[in-house]
């Protein structure tokens, strides 16, 4: 079963071994409003923690998505190109953005678990 981590930039990361699936949290999707476009990263791209890797656009605004940890992008959720609203409907499920292989698993220690993220959101 995957371990779930959260960033202060409202990305979630589901980690299984050295692989992670990444998306934005339901809170972030709600704050953005109706999502109309998602620009996804290319597979094979190496990223460092906090690199801008994707863009999500809603009827309200555009927002950058950052790499919660360093690694290599291995796949992206091409279905979002045709149905970006999936992020609003199932942000932590079918609305995932990309998969990556972790290059520095120690960076996971800088992320939050669900209860810490929930407390973080309460303070916003």
User: Can you give the pTM of this predicted structure?
Assistant: 0.96
Compute CA distances 82 → 25, 37, 78, 85, 95, whole Å. Answer: 20, 9, 8, 9, 12
Q: Do the beta carbons of residue 91 and residue 18 sit within 8 Å? A: no
What is the tens place of the pLDDT at every residue in 33-86?
999 999 999 999 999 999 999 999 999 999 999 999 999 999 999 999 999 999
- 97 closest CA partner among 59, 63, 121: 63
Q: Do the beta carbons of residue 79 and residue 86 sit within 8 Å? A: yes
What is the tens place of the pLDDT at every residue in 5-37?
999 999 999 999 999 999 999 999 999 999 999
**Number of continuous H segments (helices) and E segments (strands) in the chain:** 4, 9
Ordered by start, the domain boundaries in the chain are 3-122
- Which CATH number does 3-122 carry? 2.40.50.100
């Amino acid at each position: 079963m995957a371990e779930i981590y959260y960033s202060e930039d409202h990305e979630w990361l589901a980690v299984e071994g050295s692989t992670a699936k990444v998306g934005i949290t339901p809170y972030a999707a709600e704050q953005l409003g109706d999502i109309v476009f998602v620009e996804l990263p290319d597979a094979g791209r190496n990223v460092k923690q906090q690199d801008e890797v994707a863009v999500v656009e809603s009827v309200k605004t555009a927002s950058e998505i950052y790499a919660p940890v360093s690694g290599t992008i291995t796949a992206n959720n091409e279905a979002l190109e045709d149905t970006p609203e999936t992020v609003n409907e199932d942000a932590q499920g079918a609305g995932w953005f990309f998969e990556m292989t972790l290059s520095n698993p120690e960076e996971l220690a800088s992320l939050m678990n669900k209860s810490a993220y929930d407390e973080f959101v309460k303070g916003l």
